[in-house]
Amino acid sequence: MSEKTVLSIETLTRLTEEIFRKAGVSPLQSAAVARVIVAGERDACKSHGVYRIEGCLRTLKAGKVEPLAVPELIDDGSGVIRVDAKGAFSPAAFELGAPVLAARARELGVAALVINSCLHFSALWPEIEVLTGHGLAAMAMCPSYSAVAPSGGTTALLGTNPFAFGWPRKDTTPYVFDFATSVAARGEIELHRRAGKSLPEGWAVDADGKPTTDPEAALQGALLPFGAHKGSSISTMIELLAAVMIGDLTSPEALDYLGSMSLLPHHGELILAFSPERFAAGRTDPFARAEVLFEAISGQGARLPSQRRFAARKTAEANGITLTAEEMEMLERLRAGGLDAVT
């Protein structure tokens, strides 16, 4: 069994930030990116934790992300707030727009944050939790790049297009789900390949459109949408709302721009925030009624989404984050070598 290393959340955050700064990324961008990556590792979301650092640096080396760009807020006082990420990583753009989005949603009842022109590599739940932290319900979605065949098709066209939702709860963690609209995120397939593990049946087809459980063949072929035509339709909706509607790249266009799925995708994101009190307008208490629903779900023995994640967070906060010898070797290699260490 390989040796494990335990790092505190603060130490891993500092190390991740240092890797990005040494690679030429601005302090603003490095700090925001490190917060999101370490949140993924802390919450045991391995497909969007430290494993993503190398892909970010590879994309930087290929000149497909702007390391020094400063995101710009464009706010005309309406319900649509915009942040132009100017080709940089998405987390700093979100951090700039989120307080304005929250204030506007409380003022108007509903508001949207559009992020344009960003490199997007992260999970969406960190953003959702910022908004539930303001007592708001929230949704977030974005395209990625063509990796998923539409239901009934055989060739990669749609992105793995994540969709996330959150509902605030008093005195406990929020209700949050966040999933790819493919059966699994592409990051999961890459982790299976690295670990030499087969995929479960029904996740992917090979380059000839035939079902496969070989992760390498799946990466050359296409993933499948979750729930057949249902996931395929939700994924198409995300292409329409979070790419076409906001004037940004769709998944096929993002792949054309990059030329390779070994890099991370450039496109936009759409985040919606709702004030439950404003929508309920005093008819009922939306928070109390939501609790009745959550209790009925848990009462059947079903678990709420994000419960696994919140449990992992508790453990990491108490005991630190455990990394494998391979993960530590990768972090040290990138810290020492910067962009030269990336192939």
Smallest separation (angstroms) from ligand NDP to the CB of 303: 5
Say whether 211 sits in a helix, a strand or coil. strand
- Tell how strand 80-84 and strand 137-141 pair up: unpaired
Using CB distances below 5 to 8 A depending on partner kind, what does residue 89 bind out of ligand NDP, ligand PYC, none? Answer: none
Which of these segments, 216-224, 272-280, 307-315, 332-340, binds ligand NDP (CB under 6 A)? 307-315
- Residue 250 near ligand NDP by CB under 6 A: no
- Whose Cβ is closer to ligand PYC: residue 69's or residue 223's? 223
The residue number whose beta carbon is nearest to ligand NDP equals: 123
Instruction: Based on the residue annotation, tell me whether 262 is a catalytic residue of this protein.
Output: no
Q: Applying CB under 6 A, does 185 fall inside the site for ligand PYC?
A: yes
Binding ligand NDP (rule: CB under 6 A), the pick from 122, 151, 212, 236 is 122
For ligand PYC, the binding residue among 16, 59, 132, 144 (CB under 6 A) is 144
Q: What are phi and psi of 116, to 5 degrees?
A: -115, 150
Cα–Cα distance measured from residue 260 to residue 282, given in angstroms and rounded to the nearest whole number: 52
CA distances from 129 to 134, 175, 189 (A): 9, 9, 26
Q: Which of 58, 104, 120, 192 binds ligand NDP (CB under 6 A)?
A: 120
Q: Which amino acid does the sequence have at 169?
A: R
48 among known catalytic residues: yes
State the nearest-atom distance from the C-beta of 271 to ligand NDP, in Å.
12
Residue with tokens 């302090």: 27
Active-site residue identified among 17, 26, 41, 48? 48
Quick check: is 182 catalytic?
no
Query: Any idea what DSSP says for residue 185?
Result: -
CA–CA gap between residue 4 and residue 215 (Å, rounded)? 26
257 binds, among ligand NDP, ligand PYC, none (CB under 5 to 8 A by kind): none
Which residues, listed in sequence order, are joined to residue 273 by a DSSP beta bridge?
111, 138
Measured between alpha carbons, how far is residue 335 from residues 25, 168, 248 in Å?
Answer: 13, 38, 33
Active-site residue (options: 66, 129, 188, 190): 188
Choices 1-9, 24-32, 168-176, 182-190 (CB under 6 A): range interacting with ligand PYC: 182-190
Site string for ligand NDP, 7-46 (x = CB under 6 A): --------------------------------------x-
User: Based on the number of CB atoms within 10 Å of its own CB, is 289 exposed (0-12), middle (13-18) or buried (19 or more)?
Assistant: exposed
Can you read off the two tokens belonging to residue 62? Answer: 């290929």
> Measured from the CB of residue 209, what is the shortest distance to ligand NDP in angstroms?
22
184 interacts with, out of ligand PYC, ligand NDP, none, CB within 5 to 8 A per kind: ligand NDP
Question: Residue 83: beta bridge partners?
Answer: 73, 115
Contact between 219 and ligand PYC by CB under 6 A: the answer reads: no
Answer yes or no whether residue 119 interacts with ligand PYC by CB under 6 A.
no
**Interface mask toward ligand NDP for 40-69; x: CB under 6 A:** -----x-xx---------------------
Segment near ligand NDP (CB under 6 A); pick from 23-31, 62-70, 117-125, 131-139: 117-125
**E strand intervals along 253-336:** 266-274, 321-324
- Which two structure tokens, joined as six digits, stand for 263? 């890099």
Distance CA 73, CA 93 (A): 8
The Cα angle at residue 4 between residues 14 and 331, in degrees rounded to 5: 35
Segments of the chain assigned E as strands: 4-7, 72-74, 80-84, 110-119, 137-141, 163-167, 175-179, 204-205, 211-212, 222-223, 266-274, 321-324
Dihedral through CA 314, CA 316, CA 320, CA 325, nearest 10?
160
The item of ligand NDP, ligand PYC, none sharing an interface with residue 58, based on CB under 5 to 8 Å by kind, is none
Contact partner at residue 235 from ligand PYC, ligand NDP, none, CB < 5 to 8 Å by partner kind: none
Q: Give residues in contact with ligand NDP (CB under 6 A).
A: 45, 47-48, 120-125, 142, 144, 160, 162, 164, 177-180, 184-185, 188, 303, 305-309
Which residues are the active-site residues? 47-48, 188
